[in-house]
Amino acid sequence: MQADETGRGPAARRPGERWRAPYATDPAATRGRLIPEAISPTRSDFQRDRDRIIHSSAFRRLKHKTQVFVHHEGDHYRTRLTHTLEVSQIARALARALGLDEDLAEALALSHDLGHTCFGHTGEDTLDACMAAHGGFDHNAQALRIVTRLERRYAGFDGLNLAWETLEGLVKHNGPLLEPDGRPTRRWTGRGIPAAILEYNALNDLELARFAGPEAQAAALADDIAYDSHDLDDGLRAGLFDLADLAAVPFLRGLLDEIDHLYPNLEPSRKIHELARRVITRFVEDVIAESTRRLAALNPGSVADIRAARAPVIAFSEAIARADAEIKTFLFARMYRHPGVLAVRAKANVIVSDLFARFTAEPGAMPAEWSAGLEGAEAGRVARRVADYIAGMTDTYAALAHKRLFATTPDLHWSPGSRSLPLTEP
């Protein structure tokens, strides 16, 4: 029987296995799970991880956690769940084009936002400030807590007992956390690496000074691509800025000129869709081309060579990295710091701060499963339990919890203004 590209004949493939490049992460060579489990006869380890993530409670809660806009503003704006699904689609496209393990890329895309709080980045910033005396709060570290401790679905272990490669990618998809000499990388120099990551790393070494595998790098870029595209889409439809305003970003101006040339007098709603999909297409095509170039230069024989590299191997070109930075700068000024968005952020901050103060002073105000064992506990333990509870809340649940405990609750609804475009999609 003739061998395929993997060097093994079709009969030798594991269930669900596809062709992979030599440098892809091979589920047949996984480093395993912290708690050993029997091998599935029908799924690879990374397929099982993907399925466990999808069936987790934390994943379902993403449906009612917002990105920038709060849930009152309409069903057409992105939530954490819709964003996650878009990231997953892009990550799979990159993985397939580059010969990576699609299931691992998908699992990492689906899990990357599990640790985000209610009310978008406002919730994280507020919880981080509340937890300043107890190690702070970081959504990536919280995602690790969720999949290793907080999910309680299985009889044999807490968490999801994911494979080493999935946990490595979850923690390091944005790059190493340590320098080769053991010092924190620049991102973590001031505040230090989150305790949750260090505590788990002591049990199961995730090699924090090395890059994650290529699938994690692809998922990280997929996150950037999805953010740029859908935040432009949401911001335009909310009336926070106009199509004409995007001329300030050369990359976007070029795409709009291209659309106008091909489709003169196109209605605004269709033009927004054309722009969003062209942003995704150009970015994805660039990642594939630039990563192919870097892979050819490195010539990795295995995933170990990619982990040992001195720079990411799955990456944007310099030109697209610059476009990505310019888009994010525009969005920061015109969307994330829009007066209407800031007003909602301030109200959400009140809700989270009030809940944290009440629950730390009175743990019994939380449900019994969350307050159990906290009587007489030291302040840091109580604060971390409270942070876990609040971080898991959806926007709706947090607002209702505040109404139950306080006389008045801020109204999070706001109208962006008359520039909003009609939302006609089903």
> What's the distance, Cα to Cα, between the start and end of the chain in Å?
51
- Across the range 58-79, mean pLDDT stands at 73
Confidence grade of residue 79 (pLDDT, cut at 50, 70, 90): confident
Residue 68 has pLDDT above 80, yes or no: no
Q: With CA atoms as reference, report the closest residue to 358 among 400, 406, 394, 398.
A: 406
Outline where 299-338 has alpha helix (H).
Answer: 303-307, 318-331
Residue 211 has pLDDT above 60, yes or no: yes
Q: How far apart are CA 260 and CA 256, in angstroms?
A: 6
Residue 343 has pLDDT above 90, yes or no: no
Q: Which domain holds residue 256?
A: 41-414
In a domain, 93, yes or no: yes
In a domain, 294, yes or no: yes
In a domain, 315, yes or no: yes
In a domain, 393, yes or no: yes
Report the pLDDT value the prediction gives residue 421, as an integer from 0 to 100: 37
In a domain, 21, yes or no: no
**Digit-coded pLDDT (tens) for 97-154:** 999 999 999 999 999 999 999 998 889 999 999 999 999 999 999 999 999 999 999 9
Q: With CA atoms as reference, report the closest residue to 298 among 314, 285, 287.
A: 314
**Digit-coded pLDDT (tens) for 246-305:** 999 999 999 999 999 999 999 999 999 999 999 999 999 999 999 999 999 999 999 999
Q: How far apart are CA 397 and CA 353, in angstroms?
A: 15
**Digit-coded pLDDT (tens) for 2-60:** 334 444 433 444 544 566 899 999 999 999 999 999 999 999 999 999 999 999 999 99
Report the pLDDT value the prediction gives residue 339, as an integer from 0 to 100: 87
Indicate the number of domains in the chain. 1
pTM above 0.75, yes or no: yes
**Digit-coded pLDDT (tens) for 358-386:** 999 999 999 999 999 999 999 999 999 99
Residue 331 has pLDDT above 50, yes or no: yes
In a domain, 18, yes or no: no
Q: With CA atoms as reference, report the closest residue to 164 among 129, 189, 200.
A: 200
The residue type at 205? D
For 262, the token pair is 């091909």
Residue 204 has pLDDT above 50, yes or no: yes
For 229, the token pair is 């595209």
Higher pLDDT, 308 or 78: 308
Report the pLDDT value the prediction gives residue 61, as an integer from 0 to 100: 95
**Digit-coded pLDDT (tens) for 306-326:** 999 999 999 999 999 999 999
Q: How far apart are CA 24 and CA 27, in angstroms?
A: 9
- Domain containing residue 188: CATH number: 1.10.3210.10
In a domain, 274, yes or no: yes
Q: Which range among 67-76, 78-87, 156-165 shows the weakest confidence by mean pLDDT? A: 67-76
Report the pLDDT value the prediction gives residue 418, as an integer from 0 to 100: 38
Report the pLDDT value the prediction gives residue 190, as an integer from 0 to 100: 86
Residue 417 has pLDDT above 80, yes or no: no
**Digit-coded pLDDT (tens) for 105-118:** 999 999 999 999 99
In a domain, 19, yes or no: no
